[in-house]
Amino acid sequence: MYFFKNIGFGIALGAGAILPGISSGVLCVIFGIYEKLLDSILYFFKDVKKNLLFLLPLGIGGFLGIFLLGNVLSYLFLHFEVPMKCIFLCLILGSLPSLCKEACPKKKFRLHYLFYTLASFLFTVALFGLENQLPFTNFETASPTFWFLFLCGFLMSAGIVIPGVSNTAILMCLGIYPIYLQAIASLNFSILFPMAIGILIGSFIFMLLIQYLLKNYRIPTFFSIIGFVLGSTLLLFFGI
């Protein structure tokens, strides 16, 4: 049962990797697996069997979510946009009480904690605001280079690891999102391979950063995550 539940989580995470406005990191927080996922990847060889049993179904589900259900989910968002957004909105808002409890499990709430929430909220809004205003590169006449695709994958990893930061918004800012979707649909490895390298390297770096922040600045980090989550709910509906 645990195995199949994690496959379901993985499918949702795979969907978050391709649907605009959805953050895989936020979904990890909603499912209560964010910190466990970080530890399982960064300390994989400390307990290979345990970590493999946790990561394998997530990986299988992620593959299914991206390559098999991507078109289905895109269809649902296209033809049933409001109901689908309501579902995600309920999931996201439903995670806020547990997030707030996790942020201050023992210490009392302090008003200045909201500064971190406001800052991350405004950052999320600003990022989406750039979505349609920064077409960095025009690929109608030229194909993206290996190193540009690597950079796209590296920056995309920030959206995968950091809750509330949409990796699709980052790709849209870089002008690569349509090519990314087409490459997934056609399994174009000349596009996917350099992006995958960038994602792997970037994800490891950002995971180390997030883990350091959670261990040393847990309360500010969690209140920042809450701001990212709130920003993702607003932009899920209004898409600046």
pLDDT of 133: 54
Q: Against a cut of 0.85, is the pTM above it?
A: no
> Rounded CA gap, 57 and 55, in Å?
6
What's the rounded mean pLDDT across residues 60-70? 76
CA distance 217 to 215: 6
Task: Report how many domains make up the chain.
Answer: 1
Contact 69, 14 (CB under 8 A): yes
What's residue 140's pLDDT?
A: 53
* 109: number of Cβ within 10 Å: 12
Is a pLDDT exceeding 50 seen at residue 97? yes
| Residue spans of alpha helices (H) in the chain | 2-16, 24-31, 34-42, 48-63, 70-79, 81-103, 113-129, 146-161, 167-173, 177-186, 189-216, 218-238
CB 99 within 8 A of CB 29: yes
Contact (Cβ atoms closer than 8 angstroms) between residue 162 and residue 205: no
Q: Over 38-107, what HEC string results? A: HHHHHCHHHCHHHHHHHHHHHHHHHHHHHHHCHHHHHHHHHHCHHHHHHHHHHHHHHHHHHHHHHHCCCC
Average pLDDT over residues 115-133: 74
Q: Are 193 and 151 in contact (CB under 8 A)?
A: no
**Dihedral over Cα of 47, 50, 53, 59: its sign:** negative
Residue 65 lies in domain:
2-238
Least confident interval from 126-140, 177-191, 195-209, 217-231: 126-140
pLDDT reported for residue 240: 44
Distant-in-sequence, close-in-space partners of 61: CB < 8 Å, separation ≥ 6: 6, 7, 8, 9, 10, 11, 12, 13, 14
Please report which confidence band the pLDDT of residue 95 belongs to, taking 50, 70 and 90 as the band edges: low
d(CA 47, CA 49): 6
Q: How confident is the model at residue 54 (pLDDT cuts 50, 70, 90)?
A: confident
Q: Residue 140: helix, strand or coil by DSSP? A: coil
pLDDT at 21 over 80: no
